[in-house]
Structure 1
Amino acid sequence: MSVGIWERKLLNTTRGVFEIFIKGEGRPVCVAHHYSVFNQTGDYFAESLTNANRVFLVNLRETGNSEEAKEPYQLSMLETIFDLEAIREELELDEWGFAGHSTGGMLGVIYGIYFSNRLSFNLIVGAAAREYMTFSKDCIYNSNHPKFFRMQELNETLKCSDLTLDKRNALKTERTKLSLYEPENYDALFSRDIIKGISAIRMDFFNREVQVYDVTKKLELISCPTLIICGRYDVQCPVKYSIEMHDGIANSKLVIFEKSNHYPFLEEAERFKKEYKLFIKEYLQ
């Protein structure tokens, strides 16, 4: 199934040039993922917001045609938020919402801690405010999880640049199925012509940074309205970390999706739209 092409722009900001993709009308919202590489086909998570928002999908430093990192620290989560702020300023927006899934949600946590005054709202889906692997056997990145070694193998293999397109797609499909409540629904859930890649350099930096990532004691600094969503059976960022974020963020709402793993915006798409619409109505109108 095809979807509308996203409008592509290159923004010359105070922190360099960044590639963004724009679609939809309404309240502005920024969508980013820590190491995904986007293009004009868009993104499944970002697409779920385009009916209600003007969505700005951002290729971060070292992805797509965006600025390269001159120093390794520029790939950190905090520096990434500084980049997003430069993009917002270049777009001449006094504020915008932020929406992030998985590691994108982790960026949303950092964004809320340091720039809540620039966020009209924050949507955090399937994420965490601290390292989520070591102490959670339910996490597929914990060595005690039965699918741990296969997930590691898939991620490392997908970093290779010499894979054929068919092989890469097969590996990505297998990896995604590991994070679905009902893997047999993969073809129906991912039926659109959306293609994206992974930045190996950003993923490698994240895999180091996440080992010392813990901002739980700063969650109280997030003052913007925050909607936290997680699948009950999320194997990447288990649900207990979403509960923890909700407990730490005063102005937050938590919704747990009982028939979802890591992709509630696809696995329970209609409920996702309903809960998002209700949140906007309750907190922003």
Structure 2
Amino acid sequence: MSTEVRTSPWSGSVSRLNLVHGVHECTIDGVRQRYHVAGQGPVCLVHPGGPGGHWEYLRMPLLENHMTAVYVAAVGAGESGDLPDGEYSMERFAHFVDALVEHLDVPDVYFLGHSAGAFAGLQYALLRPGRLAGLLLYSGAPVYGPDLYTEAAAQMRLFAERYAGHPGVADVMDAFESQTPRTSKAELMDHMGRLLPAYFAEFWSRQHEFQEWLPTVDIEYAPAAYPADWDVRESLGEVGVPTQILAGRYDFICPVRWAEEMHKGIPASRLAIFENSGHFAHVEERERFAQTVREFLRG
């Protein structure tokens, strides 16, 4: 694998060349893998969701004073390359995580995955027991497929009840229930924009607080069929690394029930529920989210 260091607006560095602050690139299985380094402290890979989400929405400045954040541009999205065979799977994402961990070449690495990034992190912890110093599963689930969708539909009905009478609810529900195929990035971004209020505990009344963050939301259209039958619920007891689970009380797509199930199944795991958050606790409850992660890293 080759590494290329690029310039960036971030200052400072750590001792290893492939962890100097800025933009880096390596090649894994012939595919371009890009990542961005910022902060200081324990090394933590930060993996976005989607699948297909760009990494920028997940940047966490409050934590960069306490950890060296390695923001992963996941394969199939934006800066990194696409898989030539189009065969995306949780196992494949975990393989790329493993190769990137080996590339960084540091003894202790943490992993923080959000949404589908948490799926990849959970799969990686099962693939390489003991390789991580710690695992943070943020707004994730141990299953991806019909059970996840059924639970999301139930949570969307609760969302509609909670905001009954609000003029924006009808469009959110129409977007959620739409069966129109989205075959381009533009269509996917439009769909995401219409759904976005449902991803928050309180979007409309706090929208002004999110104005700087909202432009960072970007998701890539990927023609690949992501796995609809990934399910590791029966394997949770095999996760043998310290694990912090983080969940928003009003998360509709990865609701608290999945966090509780992972907490019950993963030995000695910790669970933090953010009572005033949906899918994006690092935006909705920044200070408490950062504190929870800091405490886990110190522990």
Place the TM-score, normalised by the shorter chain, in its bin: 0.7 to 0.9
- Count how many residue pairs are aligned between Structure 1 and Structure 2: 266
With over 3 angstroms needed to count, the CA separation of the structure-2 counterparts of 1:44 and 1:280, relative to structure 1, is same
With over 3 angstroms needed to count, the CA separation of the structure-2 counterparts of 1:188 and 1:275, relative to structure 1, is same
- Residue 207 (structure 2) aligned to one of 182, 186, 204: 186
Find the counterpart in structure 1 of residue 42 from structure 2.
27
Q: Is the 8 A contact 2:152 2:252 kept in 1?
A: no
- Counterpart of 2:233, as a letter, is T
- Residue 138 (structure 1) aligned to one of 147, 154, 175: 154
- Distance in 2 between residues matched to 1:49 and 1:122, nearest whole Å: 16
Find the counterpart in structure 1 of residue 23 from structure 2.
8
Find the counterpart in structure 2 of residue 221 from structure 1.
238
Q: Alpha-carbon deviation of 1:175?
A: 2.5
Find the counterpart in structure 2 of residue 116 from structure 1.
129
Q: Alpha-carbon deviation of 1:232?
A: 1.2
Residues 253-268 of structure 1: pairs in structure 2 closer than 5 A: 253-268=270-285
- Counterpart of 2:132, as a letter, is L
- Counterpart of 2:82, as a letter, is E
Q: Alpha-carbon deviation of 1:11?
A: 1.1
Find the counterpart in structure 1 of residue 138 from structure 2.
125
- Counterpart of 2:155, as a letter, is C
- Residue 67 (structure 1) aligned to one of 81, 100, 105: 81
Q: Alpha-carbon deviation of 1:153?
A: 4.4
Q: Alpha-carbon deviation of 1:279?
A: 2.0
- In structure 1, the gaps of 5 or more residues are none
Q: Is the 8 A contact 2:185 2:221 kept in 1?
A: no
Q: Secondary structure at the match of 1:278?
A: helix
With over 3 angstroms needed to count, the CA separation of the structure-2 counterparts of 1:45 and 1:248, relative to structure 1, is farther
Q: Secondary structure at the match of 2:98?
A: helix
- Counterpart of 1:252, as a letter, is S
Q: Is the 8 A contact 1:15 1:83 kept in 2?
A: no
- In structure 2, the gaps of 5 or more residues are 1-7, 11-20, 162-169
Find the counterpart in structure 2 of residue 50 from structure 1.
64
Q: Secondary structure at the match of 1:244?
A: helix
Q: Is the 8 A contact 2:121 2:137 kept in 1?
A: yes
With over 3 angstroms needed to count, the CA separation of the structure-2 counterparts of 1:234 and 1:135, relative to structure 1, is closer
Q: Is the 8 A contact 2:59 2:71 kept in 1?
A: no
Q: What TM-score comes out, normalization by structure 2 length?
A: 0.78
- Counterpart of 1:185, as a letter, is R
Ranges of 4+ aligned residues in structure 1 off by more than 6 Å: none
Q: Alpha-carbon deviation of 1:83?
A: 1.1
With over 3 angstroms needed to count, the CA separation of the structure-2 counterparts of 1:214 and 1:245, relative to structure 1, is same
Q: CA RMSD in A?
A: 3.1
- Residue 184 (structure 2) aligned to one of 140, 144, 160: 160
How much identity, in percent, do the aligned residues show? 22
Pair 1:84 & 2:100 matched:
no
- Counterpart of 2:200, as a letter, is L
- Distance in 2 between residues matched to 1:28 and 1:154, nearest whole Å: 41
Pair 1:177 & 2:197 matched:
yes
Find the counterpart in structure 2 of residue 235 from structure 1.
252
- Counterpart of 1:62, as a letter, is G
Find the counterpart in structure 2 of residue 246 from structure 1.
263
Find the counterpart in structure 1 of residue 16 from structure 2.
none
- Distance in 1 between residues matched to 2:245 and 2:261, nearest whole Å: 10
